[in-house]
Structure 1
């Protein structure tokens, strides 16, 4: 039997009000000089004060790097490294959605790099196993799962490519997962990040690299997300739904960090890089069609996912359960207002002109190779055309 390799943060604090324990968490690890990595909106809205206030109250001096952009770029990461080196810091705190957390991870990796190395040197299949400083993640959305994964995504601005960076250097030391931070999240973000987390769990479950432990995380995540996403979207102040979504997103992160994502993510990254579609939304655009593409090849797993999500009753035959899963994913996109790339405003001529490059970039990421049905370049192009929305 091949040994199972598992990774996870050393500590996860999960639950309402957990953010108040951030100073104590730092103290447990002997840390006291954090650089907080966030984005401009978190600063202008005052949301970052939710993290800064307890730190200041505990006498912990903080500095803030807030140049993070929605799709983290290598240039922003380099600026973050310079900010890190300009001060005397012993850790990084990634506060916000996936972008600030991914940026904090990438800063830690690049700050440990040899002279002359760039983020592109750490692109998969390279392994980014060293970090200059530990990273603590504080997610403010229930979606990316970045607080629990060994991955970060960075856009190479020269090649207009979203690069998957993987390794122990990207694994947070700890995370504070406080669902109270999601009460003010807009409905669109709730929908997109929610479907993102469902995609993480489903792809981890059907991936060729799934294992018995990642399955436990994935199943638990699918149960929580499937039964609470619509409520969190329709009732943003519903504490039980928000708590379930936050826990589900973290469990989904643990699932795919210990398994892998697959074709949806492989095709999602080029869509985001070239057209600046938010990551969760690009996953949502793709999920029904990509699931249909791989359904027959991975039918037992997809069918069991439908039963776990309570989309299909226990005992439903696989073929019927798989069809019910597809119906549910399509209905979810419709109910949560997920647009096609066409409806999103992506011009068809530019979309068509980039199809071959996007397909090549998707395959180069390695994620499509984990799919139940591994696609050719031509099949990826055909899937992009189908998803576009003609």
Structure 2
């Protein structure tokens, strides 16, 4: 047995029984090497990871990943908080971190209906602005942000979450002020600002047939207008029993047939009980809900750890089977403690959706993915 296989076996066994794996990071498999030839693999980063406040997270990213996505620092409310003022410091740190480490840098996101300041859509009287005024604001924002990082950011999530589950357009303020062509205008302006940048559409639940078909129509519409569209990102906030395998395959094949890439852009796997009907609740204030919805406060038991590990392996094996279409998989965070799922859809839970635990250690799922990738070579 080779040394790497011995290390793998020791770490996998120790994690499954809840023990910390103390093997030095220099002996860990490296995901970006393991998945080379398959697809890029990366993580979404918060500002702490690139500003020096969370150096252990930065160390993991530098070692393991070859692509990074801006978790929040490039969203409109962060980078363009007031009408005539941009705040680039955090975004600059993010881009510089990626370039320093020779990573593929992904900008997220230019046009979305959430995390956008109220002023964007209204005039001084608080009334929705005209189509022309809204297009001017959109153009200024995209030209300024994309232009600043021209030649540095490899690709942009240009429009995010514009589709409803039944295949329509979300009735947001972009649609109300501009009309349905707000989507195509965003791609037009982004390409104008950086002709070499890749441009993507990003959304959740694209495995659902009606939404998948809408995404296909969206891509075809952009292509028919001669606009650049390089890929479609399915976010990948997945669980133990979703997405349905056949639906995910159908989505990947449908997008691939259009000649564009598929990326999994925000992947995590949630093992906690579903909690959508308690949306927004703080379960720390209700003992009964805390017990029901937050069962693993003291750590994942062996059985749960194994289910999570197996689910990660299943999903990655499926993605690996679509060689030549799936070009990137990005985890939505670096380690469990900082995952958004600790506070969504309800606040105060202890979630385990990523590949590194709260102590920055690789989990059983990490080692299982190494094995899964090696089996596909």
Q: What is the TM-score with the length of structure 1 in the denominator?
A: 0.31
Q: Which has the higher strand share?
A: 2
**Bigger proportion of residues as helix:** 1
Higher relative contact order (CA 8 A, sep 6+): 2
Larger Rg: 2
TM-score (norm. length: structure 2)? 0.32
